[in-house]
Amino acid sequence: MRFALRLFAMPVLAMLAAVALGFLAVRFDSSPRLVGLVTYVRYACGAMSVVSICTVTYNLVRVWRAYNGEDEDQCTTCGMPTTRKVGRYGPYFSCWNCGTNRADR
Ligand SMILES: [Zn+2]
């Protein structure tokens, strides 16, 4: 469950933002004062759609590469992709699946 959240939270949030911006563009279109902002809201809607597609593609490509053993920063416990972070004790890798942290040395 946590793995699915880590994989799809960002794309789903970006998609929901795109849908919300789409509704906002429709609302702005009918308002005489805000009709000037419709173009920018539509660009933001398109940008959020692109962000959603790019993030889900990136995450699934990382999982596919890890599944085939080609990912550079695989988890040493379960073999899934990791994210490099910088914490209080220096840089480390945090696994997407099991949450294991491994120091980057
Ligand atoms: Zn792991």
Confidence of residue 21 (pLDDT cuts 50, 70, 90): very high
Q: How far is the CA of 88 from the centre of ligand 1 (A)?
A: 21
Q: For residue 86, what is the DSSP state?
A: E
Q: For residue 98, what is the DSSP state?
A: S
Written as six digits, the tokens of 45 are 């809607």
H/E run at residue 91: strand 90-95
Q: Quick check: 60 and 12 in contact, CB under 8 A?
A: no
Q: How far is the CA of 93 from the centre of ligand 1 (A)?
A: 10
pTM: 0.81
Q: Which residues, 6+ apart, have CB-to-CB distance to 67 below 8 Å?
A: none
Q: How far is the CA of 43 from the centre of ligand 1 (A)?
A: 38
Mind listing the pLDDT tens digit for each residue in 71-83? 888 999 999 999 9
Q: How far is the CA of 87 from the centre of ligand 1 (A)?
A: 18
